[in-house]
Every structure is written in structure tokens, then in C-alpha cells.
Amino acid sequence: MTTMRTRNWLAAAAGLALLTSVLPNPAASAASPVRVVLDGRQLDLSPAAYIEAGRTLAPVRGIVEALGVDPVWNPQERTVVVQRGDRYLKLTIDDRVACLNPACTLTRTLDVPARLVGSGRTFIPVRALAEAMGLDIAWDDAARTVYLSSTGSPSSGSPSGGSPSTGAPSPVVLEGVTQGQVITGPVSLRVRGQNGTYAYFYLVDPATRKGRMVAAGADVGKSYTFTPDPTQAGERQLLAAVRRPDGTLVYSAPVTVRIAPDTSVRPVGIDYGGIIDGPFTFRHELSFVATHVIYQLVDLTDGSWRNLATVGPGESYTWYPRTTDNGPKELYIYAYDLNGNHYVSNPVRVHVNVSPSTSFSSVKEGETVTGRARTLSVSANYPIQSVRFYLDGRLLASENNYWWTYGPQDNGTHTLRVEVTATDGRVHTVGPITFRIATEPGLWMYGVGPGQVITGQVEMFAMPNVPADEVRYYAVQNGERILIGSAGLTHKVSWTPPRGGEWMIYADAFYQGQLKVSTEPIYVRAYLGPTYGPQPIVEKSRFKDFAANLAVASYRETGMSAALQVAQAILETGWGQYVPVDKYTGKFSNNLFGIKGQGSAGSIVSTTWEVYNGQSYTVDAEFRAYNDPRESWQDHKDLLLTRPWYEVFREVMSDPVLGAWGLRKGGYATDPEYPTKLIRIMKENNLFELDVIQF
């Protein structure tokens, strides 16, 4: 049923040489040939049958003709049809969805799809053929033989679990829409009438019979939201399908609708003619799929404009106006669709009238201050000319973002007052703030951190909170102490480990020759051997096909947009060129999404970042390793499909655009531009075609 518009380049992916573990070569199994026996007679199959992913594939003509029927091959659609009496099977090359009746209202998801092998011979999964044709099937592992029987139990091995019925499908009913309905905004879709393990919802163009999944999930009885896309406007059909426990899909009757999204952009919570006198949160509502939304502000005094923020559909933005923004303004909200068309809200005229406000949070009223230093900084909603900090009435500093150091000698109660002079000459004051310093003598190390792996020369320095004129640095291994160097308080020392292994580093601060304070011990590891960096999984030019082969199979199974899956893989691996390997052994991870922990093939050691005393440094971390790329792909999908915090993503995962924003909302990435990067990758590389299904 589900033949893709992009089947030509997907078929090319099946031929990637390095994917022998994913898309195997029959010759790889030639040492132990697989035999096929039908009704007690061994079939003379050429080429021979082979095993892929635990399933036997055999040349279709050899088996089907032995059953007394002829297969029908369609080279344009790359499909093969086998019909025996009232039993029907239609397979598409490299597509795991098999049709069990001519209308494709009854389907089954295969473990392994049909393949083109060698000079173009069509190989089909034997079990799929047997179950569709009503044959009994058994497997003899010792003899590497498939036994088929068209009359009863096969002559050897254990019988199969039965075959699915090819009769009329169960009465699956699509609820939430009616025939002829005009869909202008989000609608809730639901199926009833069939128990199952998964629900799917499709939007199909009746003229081309091509469509896309618009929602899917494992809760068959749940309502799923479909949001219309302006680029899909026109007469369409909505239909649902339920996957039964045996893997077959049972479809509802199609419901003809017209997609005509309401493309109005509606500001929320802001009144025309209102006054903004402080931080204000802009909100909006949409009834359609938008790639992004821009909040734009126009100054009515001079006609100038600026974009305040770019956000996802339905996302808000909090604006902190400055006194220089005071005056009449107009707010416009722009929403964009996949074709680049923009839809704009009606202007909302407001008057900004904020009073000068000064913010200082480096030290809070009643706080107990420890450690050795704080950055004193002030922010304001007006232009600043100068800043002054007064400690206990005395001028401490006359610069913003001042690095203030203190020590045990300063313990006790203090006051801090801030004076800020604006460019108009007005002076604004914060405080006095009353607080207490209660710190212990200490020495803080910078440049190295706990767990750091040192592979060459490092620089370090230490700062005390007590008077000192010299700092001595030491490295200790197996009881042997080495003096790294000695320096004044403002100088760094360099160290290259003389040998590998575990080391403990610390420093002592002296004043006039007397030891005053020491750092805490810092345990590091030195490694002076060769290291390995990320490696490509395929050539860059082949990665799109490589990833598409994995993504489309997952899309048909889970409903998670294949376009979005491929875009993520492209972004996470740099087009497959930066897949992590073990930095010490070079072991390849097959980890396409940078997931930490233990995988099916254990783990590899790679570099990540930590922060110590405010400075970043590198440490080793374990990342999952997999036996092949399929396992990595599946693990990533399992993560998104099972973790509770990704529920916000699962609600929209079938839509590649809304799904991109859902990933960020679920906390997958901290990069605020992550969704727009994914959408740009999908648009520039025509990945949306991966979600197209031929009905």
C-alpha cells in the first residue's frame, strides 16, 4: 500500500555497501544455503534464498509458480502482486507495509520488506507470502530449511502461529470529523470499533492518493489533535487505521473534508490602546501549522521597527521595555508557513510608559556570603553613564561588573549601596543592603578540575582569600610528590605530566614563608598516548539515503515524522561525519544521537565538558555503543517514545514542523535555535517527501 514518492533514492540506499549488517548481501549466507520445501518437494530456486534479520527471503517467481499462480510485477511502482483464489498479497520493494486486499484497507507491517537482488530479481519474505496465501510454514534450524504446506501441517518443524484473515476488516470508525466538513483549525480525531496496539491517522489527496500521517500513538482509544497546514489546503480525505496485535492494519472508511485553515494570527492578553508600564508577556493563538512566529514592534514616532523575538507556534515572549522605548507603538505578529508565506495579525496599538528601574541581585538582603569573590553588577532599563558601589559607606568600586574579593578578615555584618548615574544625569540608588560575610580561609584552583583527563600541557593558577605572596603547585602519584612550580598570585604555572596515570594536584599559599592555606586535592588522569576523534559513518553525499532508509521504517511503525528523524541525525552528526569513537581505542560507536550510557555493544569513552570554579574543562564520559546503526536509531526512538517528559513531543510527532518545536519543549536540546535549524534542514534537503505515503 504505502509506496513512497521518493522510492528511487530510497532504493539506492538499500545498496549502500557498508550496510551489509542492515541490508545484507545474499552472498554473505552462501556458505550455508537456505532450502525451501513446498508440499514435500524441494524447490529449485536460483538465486538461492537467504536470511535477513532472522527472516527468509526467496525469489518470488520460484515459489509462486510452484503454487500454480503467476506473480504480477509493476516496474513503475516497484510492486509485486500475488493472488491465489480470494487470497491477495501486494509487496513494494523496500517497503515494510504489505497490502492484504486490493484496496489496501487491510495491511501488515513486515519485519523485512521485499528486495531487489543482483540483476533485479525480486525476493520476498517467505513467511509473509505463506501467511497471506494460507500456507502452513515451519523452520528447521539445523537443516536451514523452510517447510511450506498448501494442504495441511508441514512435514517438519513446528507450525507457525497462524495466518491473518483476509476477509472484511473490522469496523474501524473515524470520529471527530464528518463527511464534507470544512476544517479551519485543530480537530480531535479518535478511532473506535477495533482493539489494537497502535492508532494512525492520515491525510490523503484523493487525486493522487498520496498522503501523510498527521497523528499516531500507542493509546488506541485516545483523542489525537490534527492541526491543518495551509500548504495542504484543498479537498482531502482523512482516514484512520488500527494496528492489531498480529501486525495487520485495519483502516476506516475515508472521510472527505476540505482543508481551509483559518490563517488569522490572534494576539492574546493585550488590548488595543493599552499601556505597558513594565515587563510584558506577548501571546498569540494560531489555528494552523506555522514554522515560526515573529513579534515585531513599530515605533509610531519615527516609523522604525524591530523584531523582538522569533518563537515557535503558540509560544509567548516576555518583553522588558526600556525608558528609551517610551511612546506610542504598534505590535505586529507574523506567522510563516512552509512555503514562506506570512500571515500577520491586526496591529495592536499600545503606549509604552515605563519608569526608570534599577536591578541589583549580586548580594541579597539578609544573605550570608561565603567563598572568596562575587561579581557586582547592576542592570537598568535606562542608559547608564556610570556605576558606583559603596561598602559600609566607603567607595568600593566605580565600574560595573566589578570582581569583588573578600576573606575571613571581612567576616561580619556589612551594608552595600549602589549608585547609578543615567545619561540624563539623574542618580538612581539601590540599597543599602544589609548582609553578612562568613567565610573560611581558602585557596581556589583554576585551570584544572576533578576528573579531568590531561593529554598535554595545562596551565593553572590558584587564588586565596587570605594575604599571600607565593603559591606552590604540586602533583602527587604513588606517594611521590613533584613540585610543578611556584608563582606569585597573578601568575600561572604550566605542567606537562611526565607519565600517564592517576595524579593528585594541589597548591599551597604562603605569606612571608609561612604556609597559610591549601586547595582541596584535585584528582586527575594523565594520558599521553594517541587519541581518536569522531569518524564518518558513510560518505557525506550518501548520508541522506542512509538515514532515510532507517527513518522511513520507523515512521511507518511509530508515526514519528521520517523527515524530522533524518534532520535530527543530520544535525547531531554533521551529515554523518562526526560519529563518536572511543578516544583511546578507536572503537566505533554507531551512536548517531550522542546518547550517554551503556548500549547494546557496551560503551565508548569520549570527551565532554564540566565546570569547576567557574571554568570549563574536559572530562571523560561514557557514550552508548551499538552493534549497528539500526540499534542506535531504535534506541533514540525508544527514548522519545517512552520518557514522560517527551509527551509534549509525542502529541505532535507526526508533523515535522510542530515536532521540531515539540523536541525543544520536551527538553531535548537547550539551543534556542534547534527547532529552526531542523526545519531549515528539512526544507533545504526536501526531506518532507519522506513522509509521503502512496495509498
Residue 209 has pLDDT above 90, yes or no: no
- Percentage, residues of the chain above pLDDT 90: 66
Mean pLDDT along residues 503-509: 95
Residues 511, 502: Cα–Cα separation, whole Å: 30
Q: Count the Cβ atoms, other than its own, within 10 Å of residue 313.
A: 22
Q: Which residue has better confidence, 336 or 168?
A: 336
Q: Cell numbers 606552590 correspond to what residue?
A: 472
- Whole-number average pLDDT of the chain: 87
Residue 600 has pLDDT above 80, yes or no: yes
DSSP state of 596: B
Mean pLDDT along residues 240-269: 90
Cis peptide before 47 (omega within 30 of 0): yes
- Percentage, residues of the chain above pLDDT 70: 92
CA quadruple 236, 241, 247, 248: dihedral positive or negative? negative
Residues 68, 84: Cα–Cα separation, whole Å: 8
Residue 8 has pLDDT above 70, yes or no: no
In the beta sheet, which residues pair with residue 523? Answer: 504
Residues 6+ apart with CB under 8 A from 17: none
Residue 150 has pLDDT above 90, yes or no: no
Q: Count the Cβ atoms, other than its own, within 10 Å of residue 65.
A: 12
* Grid coordinates of 505: 594536584
Mean pLDDT along residues 221-244: 93
Q: Which residue has better confidence, 657 or 606?
A: 657
CA quadruple 633, 638, 641, 646: dihedral positive or negative? negative
**Structure confidence at residue 189 (pLDDT):** 96
Four-point Cα dihedral 447, 453, 458, 464, nearest 10 = 30
Q: Cell numbers 548517531 correspond to what residue?
A: 592
Mean pLDDT along residues 192-207: 90
DSSP string, 162-226: -----SSPP--EEES--TT-EE-S-EEEEEES---SEEEEEEEETTTTEEEEEEEES-TTS-EEE
**Structure confidence at residue 21 (pLDDT):** 30
Q: What is the three-class DSSP state of 454?
A: strand
Give the confidence band of 97 by pLDDT, cuts at 50, 70, 90.
confident
Q: Which domains does the chain have, with CATH numbers?
A: 35-149 (3.30.457.10), 176-259 (2.60.40.10), 265-352 (2.60.40.10), 358-437 (2.60.40.10), 443-526 (2.60.40.10), 540-694 (1.10.530.10)
pLDDT tens digit string along 527-563? 999 989 999 999 999 999 999 989 998 999 999 999 9
**Structure confidence at residue 15 (pLDDT):** 33
**Structure confidence at residue 272 (pLDDT):** 87
Mean pLDDT along residues 408-421: 95
Residue 494 has pLDDT above 60, yes or no: yes
Q: How far is CA 45 from CA 49, 62, 588, in A?
A: 7, 6, 38
**Structure confidence at residue 671 (pLDDT):** 86
pLDDT tens digit string along 355-393? 999 999 899 999 999 988 899 999 999 999 999 999 999
Roughly what angle, to the nearest 10 degrees, separates helices 540-558 and 7-14?
A: 110
- What is the CA 319 to chain-centroid distance, rounded? 29
Residues 633, 15: Cα–Cα separation, whole Å: 19
Residue 479 has pLDDT above 70, yes or no: yes
pLDDT tens digit string along 660-674? 999 999 998 888 899
Residues 6+ apart with CB under 8 A from 48: 26, 30, 33, 34
Residues 6+ apart with CB under 8 A from 238: 174, 177, 189, 201, 202, 203, 204, 214, 226, 254, 255, 257
Task: Please report, as a single letter, which amino acid is at residue 59.
Answer: P
- What is the CA 2 to chain-centroid distance, rounded? 26
pTM of the model: 0.72
Give the confidence band of 249 by pLDDT, cuts at 50, 70, 90.
confident
Residue 28 has pLDDT above 70, yes or no: no
**E-strand spans in 44-135?**
50-52, 55-59, 72-74, 79-84, 87-92, 97-99, 106-109, 115-117, 121-125
Mean pLDDT along residues 300-323: 94
Residue 191 has pLDDT above 50, yes or no: yes
Pick from 675, 642, 643: nearest CA to 659:
675
Give the confidence band of 152 by pLDDT, cuts at 50, 70, 90.
low
Give the confidence band of 246 by pLDDT, cuts at 50, 70, 90.
confident
pLDDT tens digit string along 53-74? 778 999 998 899 988 888 999 9
Among 24-28, 407-411, 619-623, 667-671, where is mean pLDDT lowest? 24-28
**Structure confidence at residue 214 (pLDDT):** 96
